[in-house]
Amino acid sequence: MIVFQTISLLKEKLLALRFAGKKIGFVPTMGALHEGHLSLIAASKKQNDFTVCSIFINKAQFNNEEDFIKYPVTKEQDILQLAMAGTEIIFMPSPEEMQRYTSYEPLQYDLQNIENVLEGKYRPGHFQGVCQVVEKLLHIIMPDTLYLGQKDFQQCLVLDMLVRQMNIPVQIQVCPIARTPDGLAMSSRNMRLSEDGRKKATTIFKVLTEIKTNLTDTNWAACQQKARQQLLDNGFEKVDYIEMCDPHTLEILTYAPAGKEVVLLVAAFIENIRLIDNMKTSASILTN
Ligand code: AMP
C-alpha cells in the first residue's frame, strides 16, 4: 500500500498503472472509516486491479461550521483499516494541495431540481461543494469505476449528473447501505453519539421499515406524521424531512400508483447530530 499526499506523485503512479492496462477503482471518503466504507473498497477490489481510496474532509460541502469542526478524524486507524482491506493506494491531500490543483474559480454546476430538495434544501451549497471536490478527484485519478454508497442517495444522483454533464468517462457503481445488526446505517457521525443516543438512533431504521411494510392502502400524510412523531418520541430533537420520492428524479411524491418504485428518505437530529438514511421500496395503492 502506498500513501500519497501530493497530486503529482499520485498521477505519475496512476499513469504507469493505466499504461500497463490496469483497471482502477476509486472510493472517495472523508475518513473516520467504518464497515460501510470498507464495503465499497471490497466491491472495488473485486472488479479492479488497483483500488484508490481518498481521504479528504471537504470543507466546501459543510454548510455548518460546527459540523465541520467536530467531524471525526481518525487518520492512523483509517490507514490501518485500509491496509487490512488490501487497498493499494491511499490519497490524503492537504486542503492547500487540493486548492493548488486548479486556478479557475469553482464552477457553478447545473444540478437542476435535485439541488433544491431534501439535503439540497436543508444544506444550501452542499452539493456544489461535493461536485467541486469530486470533479477534481476524478480528473486527478481518472478511475474506470467510481464506488459510492446508497447511504447518500441524493449524492449518487448528483454525481451521476456531474459525470454526464462534464463528460467524465467513468462508470458509477452504487453499493448497498451497510448497517449495524440493529439496523442503524453506519456513518462517521455515529462516532459522536452516546451509547444511549446510538440505540435510540435505530428508530430511523424502524420507521423506514415500518413505512415500507405498511405501504398498502395507506394515507401517506398520516404515515409521514406517525413516523415523525415516533422519531420525536424516541429521542430525536428535530426531523428535517421524511419523504417518499421518485428514485430517479427525487420528485417528492404524495401518492404512488401500485408497483411504483419509490425511495423513502429521512434526515433527523439526535444529540445535535444530523443523521440521514433511506430505503428503496415499491409502493402499493397510496392516497394523499
Ligand atoms: P463519507 O466518508 O461519509 O463522505 O462517505 C464516503 C462514501 O462512503 C460515500 O459514497 C458514502 O455514501 C459511502 N458510505 C457512507 N456510509 C455508508 C454505509 N453505511 N454503507 C455504504 N456506504 C456508505
Structure confidence at residue 255 (pLDDT): 84
Q: Whole-number mean pLDDT of the chain?
A: 94
pLDDT at 104: 66
**Where residue 58 falls among pLDDT bands split at 50, 70, 90?**
very high
Beta bridge partners, 55, equal: 29
Ligand 1 pocket, residue 151 CB under 6 Å: yes
Distance of CA 152 from the midpoint of ligand 1 (Å) = 7
pLDDT at 230 over 90: yes
Cβ–ligand 1 distance for 39 under 6 Å, the answer yes
Decide: 177 in ligand 1 pocket, CB within 6 A: yes
**What average pLDDT does range 118-132 have in this prediction?**
96
β-partners of residue 89 are 2, 52
**Ramachandran bin of 123, using left for φ above 0, alpha for ψ from -120 to 50, beta for the remaining angles:** beta
Q: What is the pTM of this model?
A: 0.97
Q: Tell me, yes or no, if 34 is annotated catalytic.
A: no
pLDDT, tens only, 178-206: 999 999 999 999 999 999 999 999 999 99
Residue nearest to atom 18 of ligand 1 (CA): 36
What is the pLDDT, as a whole number, of residue 13? 98
* Other Cβ atoms closer than 10 A to 166: 13
For the ranges 31-35, 107-111, 147-151, 187-191, which has the lowest average pLDDT? 107-111
Indicate the pLDDT class of residue 103, thresholds 50, 70 and 90: low
Contact 214, 283 (CB under 8 A): no
- 178 pocket-lining for ligand 1 (C-beta < 6 Å): yes
Query: Span 239-266, mean pLDDT?
Result: 94
CA 33 / ligand 1 centre spacing (Å):
9
User: Could you give the percent of the chain with pLDDT greater than 70?
Assistant: 97
287 has pLDDT over 70: no
Distance 214 CA to ligand 1 centre (A): 28
